[in-house]
Amino acid sequence: MIRKIHTFPDSVLRKKAQPVENIDVDISELLNDMTETMYNQKGVGLAAPQVGVSLRVVVIDTTSGEQPDTLLHLINPEITAAEGEQTGEEGCLSIPGEYEPVRRYNRVTVKAFNPAGEEIEFEAEGFLARAVQHELDHLEGVLFIDRIPPYKRDIVKKHIKRRIADGDYGTIEDVQS
């Protein structure tokens, strides 16, 4: 089932997400719905807070469904090591239509649980490492616009305000400054 994507400045995007305690049928359903929602929007990643669920659950597919074996379902993920540096343009399904360059680690080691409840560990580099860092930020209530220079953040926020006023953004809430 496709779920509603919550957009900035929705407060659910600012909450620290809670760890999953039991990987049960509700979590499987959440993961399936998040995957469907991500593919529907041609996204490469989605974190549970973006569908209004404040839990540490993330889906990532850097091919956006072109190669389904690249799909990752991560529960309670953590970055255990990080190195190097990369800068690349980033967007977010919760901040539709806005893109800015963001500096990230180039390589990360990730620990998580899979839907079978097994602990997994893997290394990610380049674009996948970027997607992992972006999605894990969501679990801390952090958005990519928090990682750009303040003057640019002001420009993006003003732009969003104008788009909301024009009915061109996808939320009717007021942007907080």
Question: Which residues are catalytically annotated?
Answer: 135
Query: Is the Cβ of residue 23 or residue 156 nearer to Zn ion in the bound state?
Result: 156
DSSP letters along 45-89, please? EEEGGGGT--BSEEEE-TTTTSSGGG-EEEEEEEEEEEE--EEEE
Q: Does 136 bind Zn ion (CB under 5 A)?
A: no
Q: Does 57 bind Zn ion (CB under 5 A)?
A: no
> Which strand (E) or helix (H) includes residue 107?
strand 107-113
CB of 109 to Zn ion, least distance (A): 21
Answer for which of 92, 102, 145, 160 binds Zn ion (CB under 5 A) is 92
Q: What is the DSSP letter of 15?
A: S
Q: What is the C-alpha to C-alpha distance for residues 131 and 71, in angstroms, rounded to an integer?
A: 12
At 52, give phi and psi (nearest 5°). Answer: 85, 10
Helix (H, G, I), strand (E, B) or coil at 21: coil
Q: Does 132 bind Zn ion (CB under 5 A)?
A: no
Query: Is the Cβ of residue 59 or residue 92 nearer to Zn ion in the bound state?
Result: 92
The piece of 70-78, 90-98, 108-116, 169-177 that touches Zn ion (CB under 5 A) is 90-98
Query: Is the Cβ of residue 76 or residue 133 nearer to Zn ion in the bound state?
Result: 133
Q: What is the DSSP letter of 152?
A: H
128: tokens are: 């996948």
Q: Which residue is nearest to Zn ion, using beta carbons?
A: 92
CB of 93 to Zn ion, least distance (A): 6
> Which strand (E) or helix (H) includes residue 141?
none
Q: Does 145 bind Zn ion (CB under 5 A)?
A: no
Residue (of 148, 109, 138) closest to 8 by Cα position = 138
Q: Does 124 bind Zn ion (CB under 5 A)?
A: no
Q: How many residues does the chain have?
A: 177
The piece of 72-80, 85-93, 107-115, 145-153 that touches Zn ion (CB under 5 A) is 85-93
Size of the site for Zn ion (CB under 5 A): 1
CB of 138 to Zn ion, least distance (A): 6
Tell me which residues touch Zn ion (CB under 5 A).
92
